[in-house]
């Protein structure tokens, strides 16, 4: 049998609420370096880069994170075959169907390897061996899922019951799927044997998946396929058609296909897997000191045991505590009992319900041109630090209700104010009056740092009107820069 090309499909649409305050809606956990010095997205891409007969990955994400993802992959020198943008989240079945339709158009018998972007796999060699075993089953038309050999009666995962063995390899037919069980059911599964955790990693031929979807969830297959056919190219991104994708029913690939098909197969694998679903998971896999603590950043732990302590901006000092999770991000401090971290989402819900912004955005907000972070905010003023990448430019814009001062603290800036274009060197500044068109650009080869002082009666991010934008964002209407 000839070798088929593997098309990794990295799903990067999650929010990671239980890892708040580090993970937030606009910058979720897959874009963060939580386990190593590389982000989880980059780790996922690197994991598949060594597979034989493997194409560059297809990334499926929402539009808000497209530039951050593109920058991370570029900096990691990881190629992308396609970056598919979902107009809205419609769960994993729609994402997989769109990716399958994209692959089928170029390689009908191409094999998709569908991977969440936010999983940790400690034994990459075991992962690659399992994928190699999965190729053979996928070529035969099976819809393969990879089951994690359980180490404890976990109640946070679904389970897969193995059926009859498939040939001489390690694969089995799927006897049944089990919803996330209670403790007694999980213990019974382990005692009986033949059960694996459902990791949400899948492998199948594009044509086989779409055939099964047409049989079991035809509306998802039809609408996702239509969204691909009508998709538009935007710079290096492929935007799915909004109307077609919005009409796609929202369902997981497990419920929509895997639990209904007669072709489901499972390959058990022990590969040091974790879905990094909570701060407790990071404590579990982290390198611990002699007192059982996992510390990240500037931490002084005195008489402290069995805790996860993360300092991202300032110093965190602890004394006489145990079994805690402490996470400091500059604008938020979370202190929680380590056995209650699954409930962090309750705090996030309260913050969102109160109309605050800490659930969705960090103090540092990333944009395609770089980032900005708020340093100080008062009744009629706000001070920000802006970092602009070499060769990057903000949109040509104006504000109806605020004036701005820009001070160059590092680098060289090209500024447009009205009809005047000038170059500012370090320690030089410029004033932008209310309702004046302006633009900031970095013509140099080094990052540009600016201190921006805003003044006015209203300083919200929606007081921006764009007239021109090199990144293809909407112009001539209010939009957050």
Structure confidence by residue, pLDDT tens digits, 186-205: 999 999 999 999 999 999 99
Beta-carbon neighbour count of residue 276 at 10 Å? 23
Q: How confident is the model at residue 307 (pLDDT cuts 50, 70, 90)?
A: very high
CATH 2.60.120.10 domain range(s) in the chain: 364-468
Structure token digits, residue 386: 């802006």
* Whole-angstrom distance, CA of residue 190 vs CA of residue 184: 10
Q: Could you tell me which CATH number the domain at 6-274 has?
A: 3.90.550.10
What are the φ/ψ torsions at residue 480 (nearest 5 degrees)?
-65, 125
Helices (H), 23-167: 40-49, 66-75, 91-106, 124-139
Q: Which residues pair with 9 in a beta bridge?
A: 58, 114
Beta strand 294-296 with 308-311 is parallel
Report the Cα 378 to chain-centroid distance in Å.
33
- 3-class DSSP state of 115: strand
414 has a pLDDT exceeding 80: yes
Q: Is the pLDDT score of 22 beyond 80?
A: yes
Pair of tokens at residue 17: 């609420």
Question: Do residues 414 and 423 touch, judged by C-beta distance below 8 A?
Answer: yes
Phi, psi torsion values for 369, nearest 5 degrees: -90, -10
pLDDT of 481 higher than 50: no
Is 2.60.120.10 the CATH number for 364-468? yes
Residues forming beta bridges with residue 327, ordered by sequence position: 310, 334
CA distances for 437 relative to 236, 396, 428, 431, 454, angstroms: 28, 7, 20, 12, 15
pLDDT value at 480 more than 50 = no
Question: Which pLDDT tens digit goes with each residue over 226-243?
Answer: 999 999 998 899 999 999
The overall average pLDDT reported for the chain is 93
* pLDDT for res 108: 86
Distance between CA atoms of residues 210 and 100, nearest Å: 7
Which whole number is the average pLDDT over 203-230? 97
Per-residue pLDDT, 101: 97
- Taking residue 166's Cβ as centre, other Cβ atoms within 10 Å add up to 18
pTM (2 decimals)?
Answer: 0.88
The pLDDT score that the predictor gives to residue 170 is 87
Q: Residue 64: its pLDDT value, please?
A: 85
% of the chain with per-residue pLDDT over 70: 98
Query: Taking a C-beta distance cutoff of 8 angstroms, is the pair 273, 120 a contact?
Result: yes
pLDDT at residue 131 greater than cutoff 60 = yes
Per-residue DSSP letter, 254: I
Contact 480, 462 (CB under 8 A): yes
Residue 472: pLDDT over 90: no
pLDDT of residue 474: 78
What pLDDT shows up at residue 364? 87
What digits encode the pLDDT tens for the residues 88-118?
A: 999 999 999 999 999 999 998 999 999 999 9
**pLDDT-based confidence at 2, cuts 50/70/90?**
low
Model pLDDT, residue 267: 97
Please tell me the predicted confidence (pLDDT) of residue 462.
Answer: 87
Residue 3 scores a pLDDT above 80:
no
Gap between the Cα atoms of 43 and 47, Å rounded: 6
Cis amide linkage into residue 21, ω under 30° from 0? yes
Q: What sign for the dihedral angle of Cα 245, 250, 251, 252?
A: positive
- Give pLDDT, residue 441: 97
């Amino acid at each position: 049998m000839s070798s088929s090309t593997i098309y990794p499909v990295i799903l990067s649409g999650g929010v990671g609420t239980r890892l708040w305050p580090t993970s937030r809606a606009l910058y979720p956990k897959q874009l963060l370096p939580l386990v190593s010095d590389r982000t989880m997205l980059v780790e996922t891409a690197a994991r598949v880069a060594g597979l034989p007969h493997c194409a560059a990955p297809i990334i499926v994400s929402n539009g808000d994170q497209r530039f951050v993802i593109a920058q991370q992959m570029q900096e990691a020198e990881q190629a992308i075959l396609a970056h598919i943008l979902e107009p809205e989240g419609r769960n994993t079945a729609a994402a997989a169907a769109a990716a399958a339709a994209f692959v089928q158009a170029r390689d009908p018998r191409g094999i998709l390897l569908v991977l969440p972007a936010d999983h940790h796999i400690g034994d990459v060699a075991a992962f690659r061996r399992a994928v190699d075993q999965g190729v053979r089953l996928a070529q035969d038309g099976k819809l393969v899922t990879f089951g994690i050999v359980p180490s404890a009666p976990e109640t946070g995962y679904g389970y897969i019951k193995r059926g009859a063995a498939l040939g001489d390899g390690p694969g089995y037919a799927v006897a049944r799927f089990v919803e996330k069980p209670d403790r007694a059911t999980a213990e019974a599964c382990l005692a009986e044997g033949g059960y694996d955790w459902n990791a949400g990693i899948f492998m199948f031929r594009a044509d086989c998946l779409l055939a099964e979807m047409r049989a079991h969830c035809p509306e998802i297959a039809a609408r996702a396929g239509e969204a691909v056919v009508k998709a538009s190219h935007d710079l290096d991104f492929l935007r799915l058609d909004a109307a077609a994708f919005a009409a796609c029913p929202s369902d997981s690939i497990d419920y929509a296909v895997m639990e209904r098909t007669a072709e489901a197969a499972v390959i058990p694998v022990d590969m040091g897997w974790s879905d990094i679903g909570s701060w407790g998971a990071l404590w579990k896999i982290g390198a611990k000191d002699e007192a059982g603590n996992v510390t990240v950043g500037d931490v002084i732990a005195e008489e402290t045991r069995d805790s996860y302590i993360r300092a991202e901006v300032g110093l965190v000092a602890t004394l006489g505590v145990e079994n805690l999770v402490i996470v400091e991000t500059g604008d938020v401090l979370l202190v929680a009992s380590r056995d209650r971290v699954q409930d962090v989402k309750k705090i996030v819900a309260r913050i969102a319900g109160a109309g605050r912004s800490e659930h969705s955005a960090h103090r540092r907000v990333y944009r395609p041109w770089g980032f900005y972070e708020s340093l100080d905010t008062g009744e009629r003023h706000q001070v920000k630090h802006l970092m602009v990448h070499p060769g990057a430019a903000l949109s040509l814009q104006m504000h109806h209700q605020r004036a701005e001062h820009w001070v160059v603290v590092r680098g060289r800036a090209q500024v447009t104010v009205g009809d005047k274009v000038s170059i500012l060197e370090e320690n030089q500044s410029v004033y932008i009056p209310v309702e004046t068109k302006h633009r900031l650009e970095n013509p140099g080869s080094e990052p540009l740092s600016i201190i921006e002082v805003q003044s006015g009666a209203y300083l919200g991010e929606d007081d921006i009107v764009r007239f021109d934008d090199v990144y293809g964002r909407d112009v001539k209407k209010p939009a957050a820069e």
